[in-house]
Structure 1
């Protein structure tokens, strides 16, 4: 396959590995503080609330403090009203408009996230402390759904790699799995036939790519519930179903993890799910997509390999048969 280089981000602009080394030191300092000082003194550190989750339920209009990012595309952004009203989130309904109507029942505070599996030490973290771990960037990404529609969305977060280094996975860990919240009281109309909780995952080298985003907001606001509040993952070179929402657990493993759609229909939803115009879904072509923008009707445009991010991610898959590992 020939890959077209993305016009928006050069490989030379990707943050080098050395820039992340400071995070390991931060993590050691944090864990040392926890061991010596205990939960009471820990609350006085910059990880305020880590062991005592907040009780405030954030509205979807709360503004985030963000810094500019180099990871931006220049294409016309999808209006916020459309990006927050046209969603796949089956825990709140299978119709595209159902999540915006129904997801208000999800209570996003208090909210804790577990880190377990092949890590130096299992952790339970408060989402607000995870948010404060690094400055939040605003990144404008292309977003491509396996159903052949796409959007351009300004997501707010920081590189997933930074959080993974904090989690301190063992050298033997090869994958990270994301587990979505499952609360039957707050998700009363779960559709029949799905193996919830929703799970997704990435190979660690994929997750460590600087483009993979640990995401807390969009359009400068905290994430609306229907878009994955309070914490989700965005990997813009993959189809949207790879991007776990409302995450409650990061599980590190040395084996390819089970993921909901790949388990249910492996001939339709591959584990890798890289955007590839030459590998069709069994029921439709992936060569084109319907771009949802400000116009009343979506326009049809060609689909780009890796959603236009080939220059940044294609090297991860050197030597792989991308029609077999789709």
Structure 2
């Protein structure tokens, strides 16, 4: 895959502003706006990045599913201003040698970040391409010392109804929970993201740390994680518990298996415009060469 440079993936106006700041050619007020710590983030290029054109920062941050902030696509951007992603701790427990409370810097230090430009496919049949900054989840699990008896990794989102107004309503069974099989969690495509473009994760995108599993529907990539548990039992997951006939544990992108209420054969790329046609959905979201072997012998129409 062709490596994309930051000038390729950054919206042109942002790119010019960034260059102007570095060159000292802007007014002091604008320079202050770009002086936040988020501006400093960079990531090493990765062979796993797609060469597809990424969505703009504005599209990625203003069209979200994050029910903790509301059910509308613009609600997370509108309602997440009071959310405080710092300070933050992630509890790692269960079948690990080094259980404990880890900071984001412990798990994903800035100098270890990788640039992962991934396709995102939502179960609702829309898609994006997002330039994440993150680290392989496998490295985090190895740091904690996952024990041989662990078969699954469970994740949990923070519970703060005073900062996340959607949690005041029984839309879901809070807190949000997700899980992966151990081989999925250890796969090199699976990352924990702490940024996108050259900025720290905005609140509406899962600040300060979230899971990204690009061959699965987006609801598997749990946001604002506060707990990671290694376990020998398949973990409880929010959407599967609510509607097992609609949302399976694996949630692999599969155009041959429709959602009970809509087809999964095609998708709508956000930002493509009203006249653009729908695109065919690829098995495993186009990552089949890397991950299909994980499911050898499984009935993907049954184990969905």
TM-score in terms of structure 1 length: 0.80
Contact 1:60 1:223 in 2 (8 A): no
Closer, same or farther in 2 for the Cα pair 1:181/1:83, shift >3 Å? same
Q: Is the counterpart of residue 140 in structure 1 residue 106 in structure 2? A: no
Q: In 2, distance between residues paired with 1:283 and 1:220?
A: 37
Q: What is the 5 A alignment of 1:117-128?
A: 117-128=94-105
Contact 1:138 1:220 in 2 (8 A): no
Task: Work out which of the residue numbers 284, 289, 294 in structure 2 matches 1:306.
Answer: 284
C-alpha distance after superposition, 1:214-256 (max 9, x if no partner): 1101112110000000000100000000001000000110010
- The equivalent of 1:212 in structure 2 is 190
Q: In 2, distance between residues paired with 1:294 and 1:324?
A: 33
Q: Is the counterpart of residue 94 in structure 1 residue 94 in structure 2? A: no
Count of paired positions: 271
Q: Is the counterpart of residue 203 in structure 1 residue 181 in structure 2? A: yes
Contact 2:155 2:179 in 1 (8 A): yes
- The equivalent of 1:113 in structure 2 is 90
Contact 1:77 1:293 in 2 (8 A): no
- The equivalent of 2:172 in structure 1 is 194
Q: In 2, distance between residues paired with 1:189 and 1:274?
A: 27
Q: In 1, distance between residues paired with 2:174 and 2:101?
A: 21
Quote how far apart the aligned CAs of 1:65 are: 2.5
C-alpha distance after superposition, 1:146-183 (max 9, x if no partner): 00000011010111111111111110000001100011
- The equivalent of 1:289 in structure 2 is 267
Q: In 2, distance between residues paired with 1:272 and 1:59?
A: 38
Say what the alpha-carbon RMSD is for the aligned residues.
Answer: 1.7
* Residue aligned with 2:175, SS: coil
Quote how far apart the aligned CAs of 1:133 are: 7.6
C-alpha distance after superposition, 1:74-126 (max 9, x if no partner): 11211110110000000000001000001111101110010011112311111
Q: In 1, distance between residues paired with 2:275 and 2:64?
A: 17
Q: Is the counterpart of residue 184 in structure 1 residue 161 in structure 2? A: yes
Which consecutive residues of structure 2, in runs of 5 or more, have no partner in the other structure?
Answer: 3-34
Q: Is the counterpart of residue 268 in structure 1 residue 268 in structure 2? A: no
Between 1:118-127 and 1:253-262, the stretch displaced more is 118-127
- The equivalent of 2:23 in structure 1 is none
Q: In 2, distance between residues paired with 1:88 and 1:281?
A: 17
Between 1:164-173 and 1:85-94, the stretch displaced more is 164-173
TM-score in terms of structure 2 length: 0.85
* Residue aligned with 2:204, SS: helix
Runs of 4+, deviation exceeding 6 Å: none
User: Which of structures 1 and 2 has the larger relative contact order (alpha carbons within 8 angstroms, sep 6+)?
Assistant: 1
* Residue aligned with 2:108, SS: helix
Closer, same or farther in 2 for the Cα pair 1:257/1:133, shift >3 Å? farther
Contact 1:292 1:298 in 2 (8 A): no
